[in-house]
Every structure is written in C-alpha cells, then in structure tokens.
Structure 1
Amino acid sequence: MKYSIRNEKVVFKDHYKVVKADVTYDTFEGGKISTERLAFERGDSVAIVLFERESQSLLLTKQFRYPTCKHKEGWLLEIPAGSLEENEKPEDCIVREVMEELGYKITKPKLINTFYTSPGASTERIFLFFSEVSQNDKTQKGGGNESENEDIKLVNVPTSEITEKIRELKDAKTILGLQWFLLNS
C-alpha cells in the first residue's frame, strides 16, 4: 500500500509545532483517499523502567503536568522520561534524564520497545528502556532541571505493589512499562 504527502506546511509553531498536509493513501479495497491532515510535532521521547535491586522497587517520578489539569489531575506518577534533543541518541538522552530527574547514574540501558503515543494526532515516538540500579548509583540530588522549572519527586514502588499501582496510574507509558516489567521479571 502507498501514500503521498503534498503541501506540508507549519500552521503553528511555539515550543511545539503543528503541521498540515494534503495526503493521499491507498484503501484496503484498492481505492484512494485524499484529504487534509494535521500532525502535532513534539519530537521523540525516552522513558525507562528503573529497578533498584536493594529495595526491590521500581523508581518512579511524581511531577506537575499542566495538560492533565483539564481533568482535575495535576500531578502524575510516571516512569522517568524526557524529550530527545536535536541529534541526541536515545541511549544518551535516557542516561541524562535519569540523572536530572532522580540523580542515578545508569549505564547500558536496554531498549525494550519503541511506540507511538497517539498515532492519530502526534508524530512522537517513545523509546522505552529498562535498567537495574543500586542505591550506590545515586550520585546526585535529582529533582529535575531547574532551568526547565521542573520539580520532581522520587517515588519507590515495591515490586510487590506493582499490580495494584497500575490500577491507579493515568500515564500510558508508565502503565506499559510496568506491565512489561510484570511480564518479564
């Protein structure tokens, strides 16, 4: 099956951008559809399931998320994550993000999956990693990047509580990451 994209242009640009295009794509029955589509371009991201051996816990973050306020949430419990910078490798980005958010030094994170967050609207992919750490790997304070106005709290979730915790979570990448851990531990 084939598709073509024409007249792609940026229709909104701020911290993120929105592009609009004329698209034509094959149908499953042999026809073609031509229409306009929008895509939210926020860049790719990384996330990690981080297991601390001594405490037998997963290390999560709790932080304020403005878009969730529409639904009266505000603060979400999530696995550590962040946005890739231009020309940055996902492996380097997740190492940086874990240090910024939690203060842990990680080496050789294992890529476990790459997925789209909302393929009907966004170009964003998340590179999901796994790594084990020791309490000795906590070498800095963490808490987020002050220049980005982040205020991040470290939350240890014992592995024995993961199944129950999944029922409370509101963040898709975290639900996926914790389910992966349950299936692979």
Structure 2
Amino acid sequence: MQNNNSTIKLLSSETLSDSWGELNKVKFEYQLKDGTIQEQTREVYNRGNGAVILLYNTTKKTVILTRQLRIPTWFNGNTDGMMIEACAGMLDDKNPEECIRIEAEEETGYTLSKVEKVMEVYMSPGSVTEILYFFVAAYADTMKTSEGGGAENEQEDIEVLEIPFEEAKAMITNGKIKDAKTIILLQYAQIHGLV
C-alpha cells in the first residue's frame, strides 16, 4: 500500500521476509524542499494495523493492564522479557472498534458496553507502517464475564492486572512500565481526568 505523493517516486521494492509481517527493502526518489531529487533506500515493515485500550474505573480509581512476554524486549535487555501494557491486538481485517472489544474480552475478561476512540498514532514511523487506534473505556466489576488471559490458539499467556491509577503512573517513572502505547494512554487518562 502506498500513497500517491508527487514528491515521492517508488523505484523498486524487494521482499526480504514475508512471515508474521512483510519486510521490504524499498528504493525511492524524494523531492527535497529546494526541488532537488534525492534517491534513498529504506527497509519498511508492514505488520498490519492494531488497536489498544485503557480500561479505567472512576470510582475505584484503578486501571486494567496486562502482563505478558514480549520476546523482542528480551533481546534488548529486558531480563525476563515481560511487559506491563494496555490491552491491544492486531485488526486482522476487523474495524478498530470491533477488534478492541474482542481483544478486551479475550485478554482481560471484561465485556465492554461502550468504548471511545481517542486518537490514531504511528508508533514507529521510521520503519513500521502500523497505525494504532487508541481507545478508552470505563469498566465495572459487573462487566467481568471471564478470566481473560488471551486466546489459547494465539499462544497467549496473559496476566490481568487491576492497578491503582496513581501506582500505574508511578510505574512509568520507576521503569516498570516501558510500553509506549500504555504510557500514552495513562497520560491521556491523567490529562482528561478519567481516573
């Protein structure tokens, strides 16, 4: 998928890997502000788009987060490879709202009555095509319809965490939460007084 921007001309695209996502080596021409043409080569990873949600409880002043293995972080110094994050998943040809409702139920066990889309974010625009759709939703104990923990057929082993909002914010500062999407949503919750 590409955009028809007159300042960019795709010269070639070579597939380097087509497993979980597609990694391409692309060569293109780019017209600079002064009108000169520059040829560049980059690697572009297309893994699809995703959605993420922060579940919050105004009365209890808590949020629902998950803890699971993220093996790429282990390769970059995260000793046990575990990450604390907001619930998220790939769209897989679903619309973002449908996707996040399904993911929330699979991962956290909460069946949500209302979700609110708050933004769209390119998470790593220098190399990854993915747009992540950000949602928030109020939750109550009565919405807990299963244990959660993820889909077995997706090899997920997810721990569901109910954390006081103030503690979750402190976990950003002390390094226990290092996931960008989660930090963005926690900051959104604070700015907008959700919790």
* TM bin (shorter chain): over 0.9
Q: Indicate conservation of the 8 Å contact 2:114/2:138, yes or no.
A: no
Aligned match of 1:145: 151
1:170 equivalent in structure 2: 178
What does residue 179 of structure 1 align with? 187
Q: Distance in 1 between matches of 2:169 and 2:105?
A: 27
Q: Quick one: distance in 2 between partners of 1:67 and 1:61?
A: 17
Paired position in structure 1 for 2:8: 3
Q: In structure 2, how many angstroms separate the alpha carbons of the residues matched to 1:90 and 1:172?
A: 19
| Structure 1 residues 21-63: Cα deviation after superposition (integer angstroms, max 9, x where no partner) | 2211121333221122210111111101110244320100000
What TM-score, normalized to structure 1? 0.93
1:166 Cα offset (Å): 1.7
Shift of 1:73: 4.2
Partner of 1:76: 83
CA RMSD of aligned residues (A): 1.4
Q: Which of 85, 99, 116 matches 1:110? A: 116
Q: Residue 39 of structure 1 aligns to a residue in which SS?
A: strand
1:10-29 alignment, distance < 5 Å: 10-29=15-34
Q: Is the 8 A contact 1:166 1:178 kept in 2?
A: no
Match of 1:49 in 2: 54
User: CA 1:5/1:107 → structure 2, altered by over 3 Å: closer, same or farther?
Assistant: farther
**Shift, 1:2, TM fit:** 1.8
Matches of 1:112 and 1:21, distance apart in 2:
32
List gaps (5 residues or longer) in structure 2: 1-5
Say which SS state the counterpart of residue 83 (structure 2) adopts: strand
Query: Where does structure 1 differ by over 4 angstroms across 4 or more consecutive aligned residues?
Result: none
Structure 1 position 65 matched with structure 2 position 70: yes
**What amino acid maps onto 1:30 in structure 2?**
G
- The sequence identity of aligned pairs, in percent, is 31
The Cα offsets for residues 82-133 of structure 1, whole Å up to 9 and x where unpaired, read as 11102x1000000000000001011331111111111111001110101101
Show structure 1 runs of 5+ residues with no match.
none
Letter in 1 for 2:54: V
Matched, 1:85 2:88: no
1 CA distance for matches of 2:66 and 2:190? 19
CA contact (8 A) 1:65 1:75 kept: yes
Structure 1: distance between partners of 2:102 and 2:187: 24
SS at match of 2:150: coil
1:22 and 1:37 in contact (8 A); partners too: yes
For residues 142-166 of structure 1, what are the alpha-carbon distances to aligned partners after superposition, in whole Å with 9 as ceiling and x for unaligned?
0011111111111112123233122
Q: Distance in 2 between matches of 1:151 and 1:90?
A: 23
Greater shift, 44-53 or 157-166, is seen at 157-166
Question: Which AA in structure 1 matches 2:127?
Answer: A
Q: Distance in 1 between matches of 2:116 and 2:135?
A: 5
